[in-house]
Structure 1
């Protein structure tokens, strides 16, 4: 940032007072008698910025010019005169940070600005930390921060710089692990994934899968991957994820054990969950059957490798070797 200092001579010195002007107007010269009796003349027209005095021996003193520097506003610390709160949070810095990433035509940080913002934070736009940050900012739409969301969000996390936001990530991740906080984050994620401009009321299947995997980054339920596989393999039966289905899945992960033995269709679960449990139990049954077949095939041996009956009898009579497992 360019800075400059303007220096100028004071155009009006203390010698240029109104009384001084009157006196100099009535007399062009004044007589000064020295100790030696000499008479000297002092020119009243001498520059007022220079102070000249007479020594007792009649010699002229050194002329001194005093220059008063004028410091421009650019030289001042931009935050020195600004009022900061108890934690040193600066609203001016937050506004300037927002302005650095905002769109040229819209008063918001859009996709391009978000990419630069994440790059400066050294985070991937698709990682959990960015989701948590969006949650603290209460962002209404993915890939967008309005001015209000950004300013209020920075105030909420007590940060007014890139370095400050980065330093807050560990605390934010820890905060998200709290039971009530995570429930709030989980419900926020559904709304965050909707396209507000399109007026969406349910999540697209692919977006829902990605958001489920993202929001459960820190604490992944055992059933999650099987649930996501079910959604991915049944595109015709799953067109979108409603808010009720999204919220109820969180309850499902807490109430139903990984073996699904305590799931009951008589309870008020969404019908999609009934279909999933049926699909999952059938998948596990096939998996067990496949495992048994593999085990049986692994236990058999080719005829050329198996010992003959005569040999078994011979070896058995010798008692030198036991053929377990045949």
Structure 2
């Protein structure tokens, strides 16, 4: 039985071990996605389009029909799935191919799929990474290499809490696990703590104080890894690793705030 990359990732993420994932797949294989109708999807696209594409006005109407706030984090997952070329814009090909791959061709079906995508974005680290990286690409202004600070801050404010709450951004301890396989300790007798919700605001405030105007692709992508691996006291940061200098400087800023010196 052939296994799609998407299904393989799903089972490995859930069961962590290859042997358990394989057993689970064969004992409880995924239900084949229903075949979506190209004609129905084209008709829906025509309902919302303005010219060749669906643009801002059509997107707002679509959100109303889907009962979703235009600023809901799940729309970033939809943008990834439908390969949105830019914010609030959807091409016919991306729309049809994307929804067909998801197996839906009605508004009710899309509502259900949005709930599934929201959960996957919250819990699946690999999926979160894909959506996170795509967010930078599709929201970056044409011809620009960086993303404006205000826009980057807005995306971080909805993405990071979502991933922290669901586990997609669960802390990866910087120290090796002990011989018994227990999590490394932070000195308090429990698992090492990582990024906290308040730190996302600290990061935004630091960038503003630093006079940052735009966020580069390197900083955007490395920030994802930083959030997952840094300890809550910023003590185990490896300054010799290939982190962007912006993150180097933030660690010093954050240490001072943790110690009550800022």
TM-score by length of 2: 0.71
Counterparts of 2:149 and 2:203, CA distance in 1: 12
Q: Which has the larger radius of gyration?
A: 1
Determine if the alignment matches structure 1 residue 232 to structure 2 residue 208: yes
1:277-296 mapped onto 2 (5 Å cutoff): 277-286=251-260
Q: Matches of residues 79-158 of structure 1 in structure 2 within 5 Å? A: 87-103=34-50, 106-158=51-103
Per the normalisation by structure 1, the TM-score is: 0.57
Counterparts of 1:130 and 1:118, CA distance in 2: 9
2:154 maps to 1:180: no
State the partner residue of 1:194: 140
Q: Distance in 1 between matches of 2:216 and 2:115?
A: 32
- Secondary structure in 2 matching 1:266: coil
Say which of 139, 142, 151 aligns to 1:207: 151
* 1:259 counterpart (218, 225, 233): 233
Shift of 1:248: 0.6
Counterpart for residue 29 of structure 1: none
Q: Which runs of 5+ in 2 are unaligned?
A: 1-31, 165-194
d(CA) in 2 for partners of 1:200 and 1:88? Answer: 39
Give a deviation string over 1:166-212, Cα, whole Å, max 9, x none: 0112221232221211111111111122022xx11100011111111
Spell out, residue by residue over 1:14-41, the C-alpha distance to the aligned partner (whole angstroms, 9 max, x if none): xxxxxxxxxxxxxxxxxxxxxxxxxxxx
More helix per residue: 1 or 2? Answer: 2
Give the C-alpha shift of residue 285 in structure 1.
3.2
Q: C-alpha distance in 2, partners of 1:275/1:126?
A: 31
1:189, 1:215 within 8 Å by CA — same for their partners in 2? no
Deviations 1:44-102 (A, max 9, x none): xxxxxxxxxxxxxxxxxxxxxxxxxxxxxxxxxxxxxxxxx982521111000000000
Q: 1:286 to 1:217 in 2, by over 3 A?
A: closer
**Are the structure 2 counterparts of residues 231 and 90 from structure 1 closer, same or farther at C-alpha, using a change threshold of 3 Å?**
same
State how far apart, in whole Å, the 1-side matches of 2:224 and 2:140 are. 18
Relative to total residues, which structure has the larger strand share, 1 or 2?
1
Higher RCO (CA 8 Å, separation ≥ 6 residues): 2
The DSSP-based 3-state class of the residue aligned with 1:218 is helix
